[in-house]
Amino acid sequence: MAGGVSGYAAISAKVRAMYSNLLTPQDISRLSESPDFSSLLSALKHTQYGPYLSALKDNELTPRRAVQQIKRRLADTYASVVQMSPTQARPLIRQLYRSFELGNLKAVLRSIVTVSSSWNADEAPWDRVREVLFPFGSFSTLPAQAMVESGSVASAVELLKGTPYESAVSFALRRFSAEQNLFPIEVALDLDYWRRLWTEARKLKGLDREAATKIIGSLLDMNNLMWTARYKIYHKLSEEELINYTLPFGFRAHDDDIRAIAAGADAAAVISRIFPTIPDVAALLEKPHTGLPKLEVQIKRQVIQQCAAAFIGNPFHVGLPLAFLILSDLEIQDLIALIEAKSSDISDEELHSALLKTALQN
C-alpha cells in the first residue's frame, strides 16, 4: 500500500497542474460580463471547457446541453484523479464521486413519480431524464434507464439490488409507500451517502485522515446546518426528527450545535459562532426564502477557502485531490449559475450574489 510521498507523487503533480487550470475569480468575473448566452459560450470556448463545448455544433448548444458538456469535464477529471490516486485513498474519492450518482438516483426517482402527470406523452421518459443526468460513465452502478422504464418506485428500488443504495432505500421504502412522498427516501440516501463518506475519511491514517476529515467535515458542516435550517423552517419538523435527519459529525459544526438548533436555540447565533466571518446571518434567516440560498453561498465560499488552504504545505496527502475535486465541482456550480443567468432574465445583481468565486477575488 503506497502512501505519503510515494503514493501521492504523481497525483499531487497532476492535481497541481490541473489546479492551475481552474478558472480564477477574475475569469469568472470576466465571464459574468458576457452580455448573453452565446457570448458566454464563446468566452468559455477559450477556457479548459473549450474542447467539451466544441464537441457540439453551435446550434446544438442549448443551455442544458452546455451544462452537460461542462459536467463531462468534471467526470473526466474525477475519472483521471480516481485512476491516479493511491489505493488507500481511492475508496474515499470514489465515494465523493458518488454524490453525482446520488443526484442521478434522485432525478430518476423523481422522474418516476412525476412521469404520469407532467411529461409529454410523445417523448419517452428516459429521453427526458438522461438529459439531466450527470455523465457518470462506467463508474455508475445505477441501472438508470431500466429504473425509469420500470414505471414505479417499488420496481425501480428492486433494481437497486447489489448497489450501495439498496440498504438505505429498502428501509425508507415502507415510508414512501405509506406517505407517497420521496422525502424519506431522499433523506435516507443523503444520510447514508454522507455517513459512508465520513467513514471512508476516518478509515485513513495520519496526515491523510487529518486532511480528509477537515475537508469532508467542512462539507458536512454545510450540509448539516443547511438541512437543519431547511427542515425547521420549510418542513416544520420536530426536534427528534431534526436530530434523526442530521449527522453527528463535522469539522467546525458539532453535534451539540445541531441539537441546540433542533431544540429551539437561535440558529443565527449558532451559525455566527461557527462561521464568525459570515456577516448578518440573523438578517439572512429572517427572510429564509432569499436568505437561505445566500447563506449557503457564503458557507460554500468558506469551503472554497478551506480547499484552497490544502494546497499550502506538504502536498503528499489525500487533501490535495479532494480539495481539487471539490473546487472543480464548485467551479461548475458557478458556470451553471452563469449559463442559467445568461439564458434567462436573471439580473446581474442576483447572479453576482449566487457566484461563489467572484467574492474571493479581493
Partner 1 sequence: MFFPREMTEVELIIPSKDLVTATKALSGRGVFHQVDSAYLGIESLGPNAWQEKAANYSALERRIQATMHTLGLEEQQRSASDFDTIIDLGAAHADIDRIEGEVKEVGERLLAEKKRMELLESQLRQIEPISDVNVEVGALSKSEHLYSILGVMPAAQMSRLETSLARVPHVFFTLKEDSQKPVVWLLGPRSAYDVLDRAAKSAYLNPLTLPEEFIGTPEEIAAKTRKAIETSKQAIFGLEAQLKKLGGAHNAELQKLWWDVHVSRLMADAIARFGQLRHTYVVVGWVPTAELQALTERLKAASKEILIETMPTERTAHSANVPVALTNNKWLKPIQELITTYGRPGYGELDPTFMVMLTFPILYGAMFGDLGQGLLMMLVGALAHKRIFMKGLQSIGLLLVYCGFFASVFGALYGSIFGFEGHHIQEYLGFHFEPLWISPVNDILTILGLAIDAGIVILLFSYLLSLFNAARAKDWAHFWFGHTGVVAIGFYLCFLTILNSLLGSTPIAPKLAAAISRLPLPFGILTPIFAVGVMLNGLFRNIVEGHRPLLDGGAMFFVQAFMDLFEGAISMLSNTLSFVRVGAFAVAHGGLSLAIFSLAGTEPTIGFWVTIIIGNIFITGFEGLIVYIQTMRLHYYEILGKFFHGGGMRFEPLRLNPSQEEA
Closest to partner 1 by CB, 88 or 353: 88
Name residues whose C-beta falls within 8 Å of residue 312's C-beta, 6 or more positions apart in sequence: none
Chain residues 55-94 in contact with partner 1, contact rule CB under 8 A:
55, 57, 59-60, 80, 84
In terms of CB distance, is 80 or 333 closer to partner 1?
80
SS3 label, residue 186: helix
CA 5 to chain centre: 29
CB of 293 to partner 1, least distance (A): 25
**Of 147-186, which residues contact partner 1 (CB under 8 A)?**
149, 167-168, 171-172, 174-175, 184
Q: CA-to-CA distance for 202 and 210, rounded, in angstroms?
A: 9
Q: Minimum distance from CB of 237 to partner 1 (Å)?
A: 8
- Of 254 and 294, which CB lies nearer to partner 1 in the complex structure? 254
Is 187 in a helix, a strand, or coil?
helix
Which of 164/291 has CB closer to partner 1?
164
Piece of 6-14, 207-215, 318-326, 342-350 that binds partner 1 (CB under 8 A): 6-14
Contact present, 106 and 47 (Cβ < 8 Å): no
Contact window for partner 1 (CB under 8 A) among 12-20, 205-213, 300-308, 345-353: 12-20
DSSP 225-293: HHHHHHHHHTS---HHHHHHTS-S--SSS-HHHHHHHHTT--HHHHHHHHSTTS--HHHHHHSHHHHHH
Biggest CA-to-CA distance, the chain: 57
Please report how close the Cβ of residue 320 comes to partner 1 at its closest, in angstroms. 14
Q: What is the DSSP-derived secondary structure letter of residue 182?
A: S
Our finding on whether 131 is near partner 1 (CB under 8 A) is no
Closer residue to partner 1 (CB): 13 or 309: 13
Of 13 and 265, nearer to partner 1 (C-beta) is 13
Nearer to partner 1, 74 or 295 (CB): 74
Tell which residue, 203, 172, 202, 195, has the closest CA to residue 105. 172
Instruction: Give how many residues touch partner 1 by CB under 8 A.
Output: 44
Helices (H), ranges, the chain: 4-19, 25-32, 37-44, 50-54, 63-84, 90-118, 125-130, 144-150, 153-158, 166-179, 183-203, 206-233, 239-244, 255-262, 267-274, 281-286, 288-309, 319-342, 348-354
Interface with partner 1, residue 14, by CB under 8 A: yes
DSSP character at residue 105: H
Among 29, 34, 48, 88, binds partner 1 (CB under 8 A): 48
Residue 206 half-sphere exposure toward CB, CA atoms < 13 A: 9
Residue 135 binds partner 1, judged by CB under 8 A = no
| Per-residue interface string for the shown chain with partner 1, residues 233-272, x marking contact by CB under 8 A | ----xxxxx-xxx-xx------x---x-------------
Residue 73 beta carbon to partner 1: minimum distance, rounded to whole angstroms: 11
Residues that bind partner 1 (CB under 8 A): 5-6, 9-10, 13-14, 17, 48, 50-51, 54-55, 57, 59-60, 80, 84, 124, 145-146, 149, 167-168, 171-172, 174-175, 184, 188, 191-192, 195, 237-241, 243-245, 247-248, 255, 259
